[in-house]
Chain A
């Protein structure tokens, strides 16, 4: 596609529910990144993929968070048993290769009530 697409744009859920956030990167981009951003802060790294392989998941806060990119294109970030502290903007980004610039999607604003 023309840009990185994320859905849904907004997600409101109740504490304890599972949520799945979707990212469709720019076509042909090898690397896909997930970040979380709190208001007034910079994006915080969560995990990233090269093709379908998850290269680094050290930024995932705990085992309730997981991500996959099974065919090396679309990725899903899943948060199980959501908690209020999970509320944030979740941003996906992709790039064509190492040292190339990152392109961000518009993000998914998650609110856990």
Chain B
């Protein structure tokens, strides 16, 4: 099993839709997780941290399911500006490095 797996998409959704992405991870000991957003040809930028209780920031909700070893990102009321690649990030197995998923591409259409 890969350390981090994401559905590459693309997810094509209309404005206003709700969309959810999952990310599975293999290291059951991982404690902290992140979602990053990356626009085309730009550097990744932190969207949200994900802790054991999950968290919500406006239209964005991140959840952690330890039993099934996945994290999720829910985007409500999608905007055109949400179009980007969403990368999940988990601690590298046995090390302090961070492993990135390959990303899920979201395209919000008018």
Q: Which residues of chain A have a CB within 8 Å of any CB of chain B?
A: 31, 33, 35, 40-45, 48, 50, 55-56, 58-59, 91, 98-99, 101-107
Q: For residue A41, which residues in chain B have a CB less than 8 angstroms away from its CB?
A: 102-103
- Residues on A with beta carbons closer than 8 Å to the beta carbon of B49: 101
**Residue B70, interface by CB 8 Å:** no
Alpha-carbon gap, A33 to B97, bound state (A): 8
Residues of B within 8 A of A55 (CB): 95-97
Indicate with 1 or 0, residue by residue over B70-110, a CB within 8 angstroms of chain A CB atoms.
00000000000000000101001001111111110000000
Closest to A58 in B: B95
Is residue B44 within 8 Å, beta carbon to beta carbon, of the partner chain? Answer: yes
B100 touches A35 (CB 8 A): yes
Contact A42 B97 (CB under 8 A): no
Kindly state the separation between the CA atoms of A102 and B101 in the bound complex, as whole angstroms. 15
- Known A41-B102, A42-B87, A101-B34: A48·B96 in contact at CB below 8 Å: yes
Is there a chain A Cβ closer than 8 Å to B46's Cβ? yes
| Contact (Cβ within 8 A) A101 B87 | no
The answer for the CA separation of A48 and B100 in the assembled complex, in Å, is 14
**Beta-carbon contact of A104 and B99 below 8 Å:** no
Contacts of A50 on B, CB cut-off 8 Å? 96
Pick 29 A–B contacts, CB within 8 A, sort by A.
A31-B96, A35-B100, A40-B102, A41-B103, A42-B87, A42-B100, A42-B101, A43-B87, A43-B100, A44-B100, A55-B95, A55-B96, A55-B97, A59-B97, A91-B44, A98-B96, A99-B31, A99-B32, A102-B34, A102-B46, A102-B89, A102-B98, A103-B46, A104-B43, A104-B45, A105-B43, A106-B42, A106-B43, A107-B43
Shortest Cβ-Cβ A-B pairs, 6 listed: A104-B43, A42-B100, A101-B46, A42-B102, A43-B100, A42-B103
Chain B nearest CB, measured from A84 CB (Å): 21
Given the contacts A41-B103, A104-B43, A107-B43, A33 and B98 also touching, CB distance less than 8 Å: yes
